[in-house]
Amino acid sequence: MSGENINPYDDICSQLKICTTQLGMNPGIHEILISPKVIHTVSLPLEMDNGEIKVFTGYRVQHNDARGPYKGGIRYHHEVSMDEVKALAMAMTWKCAVINIPYGGAKGGIVCDTKELSIGEKEHLTRRYTAAISQFIGPYRDVPAPDMYTDAQTMAWIMDTYSVMQGYSVPEVVTGKPIELGGSEGRTEATGRGTAICLRECARSLNMTLKDATVVVQGFGNVGVHAAMTLSSMGCRIIGLSDSRGGIFNTEGLDPSKVLGHKIETGSVLGYPGSEELTNEETLELECDFLVPAALGHQIHEKNAGNIKARVIVEGANGPTTTEADEILSRNGVFLVPDILANSGGVMVSYLEWVQNINRQHWSLTDVNQQLESKLVTAYKNVWDMKEKMDLNMRGAALSMGVSRVANAIQQLGLFP
């Protein structure tokens, strides 16, 4: 069972209301923060390979730019909705503020099933979408990035389309590009690696050891793969992994690299030799030290939160836990590191890529990883300190930090005219 009946925008607005009330914030500032600054909906007619014309719907929501240009990914998924994109754009605003980089939040998406599109159709759809939003994006206005079912190739098509329309090459219009086109070293693995770093910092703060700590990763896509591999290299024992078809379990541990090879060969983690097969629901409810939800949003909700047996949850996905589930987990003593901190490694390295592009530089993987490490360690400490100071949980502390920074920027800028 999933949280498919939960409205993601209502859920994140509920979190914001709780936060601004705790902070004693001016109601007018709350009204600014709860309302996206700009919403774009575009109609995308496309001639399919068979000659049929289909019309797709695309979105780009620009939530707030008080701290800098809009920043956020573009996802291709058949369940993309306006409310989902609005919620993710708002979360990006808080995320950029928590990690303390000079961006505001945005998000985009196209309602489509990439499994039913050929490579050519996906390229044409991407270029059509880019042309439709081209006047609203740009290196100092809005900088898109990959998200669910989009990748470096998708960003290359966006960069090329935008550059052709400008009449010169503009690599800094997107991040997450191929290395050959100005992409950054370490960008592909940044979100998963960052999630692992936050888990490590969490273990330190709770006096837990990583050596042989049991970890379950729900979602074995880009984020889950790199989180599992990094955690395995840190000495953790990965006992559970899952993808959209189901999960696998082995109390003695799973080798993420070998599981990835199996998935590439067969299309799923299921059937991996020496493992027990589980449903996704059962995977979430395995007994473990650390649970890393790295799949879709709202996977932990009020109907299953009470069954979670992990000591700690580190959110690799965007919005995997509902507000109601948060309350249940807190009552049950489950420590949670929220998404706006735990999966901020991706936007951090996107920022580094953007800086490199603007200055026409290219940094080594070592340099990028050092900056990622430093920024995440500092951000985790700052959130932990706020948690202690305000007597909040980690989500409340991270949200309070992010919202406060954005609110302060709005107040200092003032309102024009």
- Residue in 107, 122, 177, 387 annotated catalytic: 107
Express each pLDDT in 313-357 by its tens digit.
999 999 899 989 999 999 999 999 999 999 999 999 999 999 999
Tokens of 121: 């159709």
pLDDT at residue 285, as a whole number: 96
Express each pLDDT in 285-301 by its tens digit.
999 999 999 998 889 99
Q: Which of 185, 98, 170, 177 is nearest to 139 (CA)?
A: 170
Q: pLDDT by residue for the chain (417 residues), tens digit each?
A: 344 577 899 989 999 999 999 999 999 999 999 999 999 999 999 999 999 999 999 999 999 999 999 999 999 999 999 999 999 999 999 999 999 999 999 999 999 999 999 999 999 999 999 999 999 999 999 999 999 899 999 999 999 999 999 999 999 999 999 999 999 999 999 999 999 999 999 999 999 999 999 999 999 999 999 999 999 999 999 999 999 999 999 999 999 999 999 999 999 999 999 999 999 999 999 999 999 999 988 899 999 999 999 999 999 999 899 989 999 999 999 999 999 999 999 999 999 999 999 999 999 999 999 999 999 999 999 999 999 999 999 999 999 999 999 999 999 999 998
Q: Please check whether the domain covering 190-342 is classified as CATH 3.40.710.10.
A: no
Q: Please check whether the domain covering 36-170 is classified as CATH 3.40.50.10860.
A: yes
Q: What is the pTM of this model?
A: 0.93
Q: What residue spans in the chain does CATH classification 3.40.50.720 cover?
A: 190-342
Residue 128 and residue 331: Cα distance in Å, rounded?
A: 48
Q: What residue spans in the chain does CATH classification 3.40.50.10860 cover?
A: 36-170
Give the Å distances, CA to CA, from 143 to 162, 282, 354: 12, 38, 9
Catalytic: 107? yes
CB atoms within 10 A of CB 202: 22
